[in-house]
Amino acid sequence: MTSAMSTIAFDRIPRERLPALLAEMPKAELHIHIEGSLEPELIFALARRNGVALPYPSVVALRAAYAFTDLQSFLDIYYAGASVLLKEPDFFDMAWAYLQRAAADNVLHTEIFFDPQTHTARGVDIGTVIKGLDHACHRAHQELRVSAKLILCFLRHLSEEDAMATLEAALPYRHHFIGVGLDSSERGHPPEKFARVFDRARAAGLHVVAHAGEEGPPEYIRSALDVLEVERIDHGVRAVEDPSLMQRLAAMGMPLTVCPLSNVKLCVYKTMAEHQLPALLAAGLKVTVNSDDPAYFGGYINQNFAETFAALPQLGAREAYTLARNSFEASFADAGAKSHWINQLDLAFEEAGTAQ
């Protein structure tokens, strides 16, 4: 515990103050798929702009299809939505819309996943994807004061050869992204399927993360650590089924990028009240809160904080601070930026503890 944390008067922050504090507190977002930020209105606008036919007649009909039973039922619609993205301005518009929402939620730093294979499979050049997203990240830094970085994700339902070819095609744009990740259908596609491509990414100096233990078993979290040597686990909530893994994650200080609304929408938990985030925090894991696919799962990062804290009375001001602080500590930003952001966080909580 740092000195700042021990001087914050958490017990003097009234419970009624918590919703506003959750919204106002500075935070980082570390698990957001940019294609999952594509709102139905923008999907339809881009479809019109690009002359792409959609299998849904209207925004209302598309939104009505967002009733998911598991990860795959979501992914089928998510990939259909992404089919409207063809040109560099399309990728810019998508990311710029997300970054404005992030700024409104007091996100100071975001590490954004993108799925190049979803686009290259439709004939879009990987440079078109990366340049459009990168342009929005630069503009966010200048105009919104939001620091934004990109993480390239491999689709795990495709082969390792396809992932390797994607990485090679992306390396000319190496300075535009900071790491690689692993997403899409988890069951039946264990992390070790991608051992060589993660070796190659690490050798190129890229950060490495992977989705594991969302729908897949705790063993996938172990192989993400042991084989892929990841620096963060995305989701990881199924670690609660394995006490020795919980101890290991806590001892390593391994961050988990948890996405509460996603877990409820994809039926990992029936209700938010059943979410295991309090158990993960209580076991000393470095948990963060994130939105995953905000356009599909019912809200952006502040909505995730609001609904999680509303449903779980064990969570109070101390946990809010810990989650926000973890988000900065678990980011891939440099030490100077992290301590600057954590100072801003400390100020927000010190003020909340002294205000009448």
Q: Which residues bind Zn ion (CB under 5 A)?
A: 292
**Number of residues counted as binding ligand HPA (CB under 6 A):** 11
| 228 to 158, 222, 295, 334: CA distances (angstroms) | 17, 10, 30, 23
Pick 128 or 291: Cβ nearer ligand HPA: 291
Q: How far is the CB of 211 from ligand HPA (least distance, A)?
A: 5
Q: Residue 71: which of Zn ion, ligand HPA, none does it interact with, CB under 5 to 8 A by kind?
A: ligand HPA
Residue that is written with structure tokens 């790491």 in the block:
179
CA 265 – CA 304 distance, rounded (Å):
12
- Give the residue closest to ligand HPA by C-beta: 183
- Nearest alpha-carbon partner for 94 in 58, 140, 126: 140
* The one among 214, 230, 245, 272 contacting ligand HPA by CB under 6 A: 214
Q: How far is the CB of 259 from ligand HPA (least distance, A)?
A: 7
Site for ligand HPA in 70-99 (CB under 6 A): 71, 78
Q: How far, rounded to the nearest angstrom, does the alpha carbon of residue 128 sit from its chain's CA centroid?
A: 22
| 203 to 81, 114, 167, 171: CA distances (angstroms) | 34, 21, 12, 12
Respond yes or no: is residue 214 known to be catalytic.
yes
Binding of residue 322 to ligand HPA (CB under 6 A): no
Q: Choose the catalytic residue: 35, 214, 215, 319.
A: 214
Q: How far is the CB of 33 from ligand HPA (least distance, A)?
A: 4
Q: How far is the CB of 262 from ligand HPA (least distance, A)?
A: 5
Pick 33 or 193: Cβ nearer ligand HPA: 33
Binding of residue 29 to ligand HPA (CB under 6 A): no
CA 27 – CA 353 distance, rounded (Å):
18
Q: How far, rounded to the nearest angstrom, does the alpha carbon of residue 335 sit from its chain's CA centroid?
A: 21
Binding of residue 105 to ligand HPA (CB under 6 A): no
Q: How far is the CB of 115 from ligand HPA (least distance, A)?
A: 7
- Give the residue closest to Zn ion by C-beta: 292
Pick 26 or 216: Cβ nearer ligand HPA: 216
- Indicate the angle between helix axes 160-170 and 126-139, nearest 10 degrees: 60
* The one among 105, 292, 319, 346 contacting ligand HPA by CB under 6 A: 292
CA 333 – CA 87 distance, rounded (Å):
29
Binding of residue 36 to ligand HPA (CB under 6 A): yes
* The one among 128, 184, 223, 290 contacting ligand HPA by CB under 6 A: 184
Task: Kindly list the residues in this chain that would bind ligand HPA in the complex (CB under 6 A).
Answer: 33, 36, 71, 78, 183-184, 211, 214, 262, 292-293
Catalytic residues: 214
